[in-house]
A and B are shown apart, each in its own frame.
Chain A
Amino acid sequence: GAGVSQSPSNKVTEKGKDVELRCDPISGHTALYWYRQSLGQGLEFLIYFQGNSAPDKSGLPSDRFSAERTGGSVSTLTIQRTQQEDSAVYLCASSLKPGSNQPQHFGDGTRLSIL
């Protein structure tokens, strides 16, 4: 079956612009996660959606970052007034059920470059 799909695969934008990154999880997966990997850094947790519960936003680095998940499926990560330090690979993952003992299935990521 189809895996986690992310778009765009690459995005280059100017500092100060807003960007939207999209994630289509695996059908039927109730949990969805966003991570980012900045140059030379490890994978950093951003936000976690679990079913209809309030998302865990504890990893969002600033109020310029927001995410939503519509209809329990597709998710959009929005970065407003982008800064150069936002340049990173943004990865989305989903799991069948919420829970830390569930393997996460990752998309190929969006490589974001802020000029």
Chain B
Amino acid sequence: ILNVEQSPQSLHVQEGDSTNFTCSFPSSNFYALHWYRWETAKSPEALFVMTLNGDEKKKGRISATLNTKEGYSYLYIKGSQPEDSATYLCAFNAGGTSYGKLTFGQGTILTVHP
């Protein structure tokens, strides 16, 4: 059973704060790591798909890094806004016979207070 852990479970920040959270995954048989944002009453939205060790991706104020050797990825949000409030999910794929199959973490619930 693949173990994908996200921390913290929830986070409250003030508008304008920068924040980050962690996704830990098995360091063996790595193929891809996905990040999604899931706002209440909406569908999950893809943020990043990362495949290479040392990869860094950026989308506006959100960025992510990847360390496949030690099995972790960080998601950063710079200058948080209330509209960033959502559950942030990471998902791991081991490739091989698991091709296409994502194992999700439990998510980090972010609340940004005005």
CB-CB under 8 A from A62, the residues of chain B are: none
Are A56 and B43 in touch, CB under 8 angstroms? no
Interface residues of B in 70-112 (CB under 8 A from A): 89, 91, 93, 95, 98-107
Per-residue contact bits, chain A 82-107, to B (CB 8 Å; 1 contact, 0 not):
00000000010100001111111111
Count: A-B pairs, CB below 8 Å: 68
CB-CB under 8 A from A25, the residues of chain B are: none
Q: How many residues belonging to A are interface residues under a CB distance threshold of 8 Å?
A: 29
Are A33 and B106 in touch, CB under 8 angstroms? no
Q: With A56-B100, A100-B99, A100-B100 as given contacts, are A106 and B43 in contact (CB-CB < 8 Å)?
A: yes
Are B99 and A99 in touch, CB under 8 angstroms? yes
Are B43 and A4 in touch, CB under 8 angstroms? yes
Query: Is A112 at the interface (CB under 8 A from chain B)?
Result: no
Are B34 and A45 in touch, CB under 8 angstroms? no
Consensus secondary structure, chain A interface: loop
Are B102 and A101 in touch, CB under 8 angstroms? no
A101: contacting residue among B49, B89, B104, B106, CB under 8 A: B49
Interface residues of B in 31-61 (CB under 8 A from A): 31-32, 34, 36, 42-46, 49, 51
Query: Is A67 at the interface (CB under 8 A from chain B)?
Result: no
A105 closest partner in B (C-beta): B46
Query: Closest CB of chain B to A101's CB: distance in Å?
Result: 5
Are A43 and B46 in touch, CB under 8 angstroms? no
Write the residues of chain A forming the contact surface with B, with a CB cutoff of 8 angstroms. 3-4, 31, 33, 35, 41-45, 48, 50, 56, 58-59, 91, 93, 98-109
A sample of 10 more A-B contacts (CB under 8 A), given A56-B99, A100-B99, A107-B43, is A43-B89, A43-B104, A45-B103, A48-B101, A50-B99, A50-B100, A99-B100, A102-B49, A104-B102, A105-B46
Can you report 23 residue pairs joining A to B where beta carbons are below 8 Å apart?
A33-B100, A35-B104, A43-B44, A43-B89, A43-B91, A43-B102, A45-B101, A45-B104, A50-B99, A58-B101, A91-B43, A100-B31, A100-B95, A100-B98, A100-B99, A100-B100, A100-B101, A101-B31, A103-B46, A104-B34, A106-B36, A106-B43, A107-B43
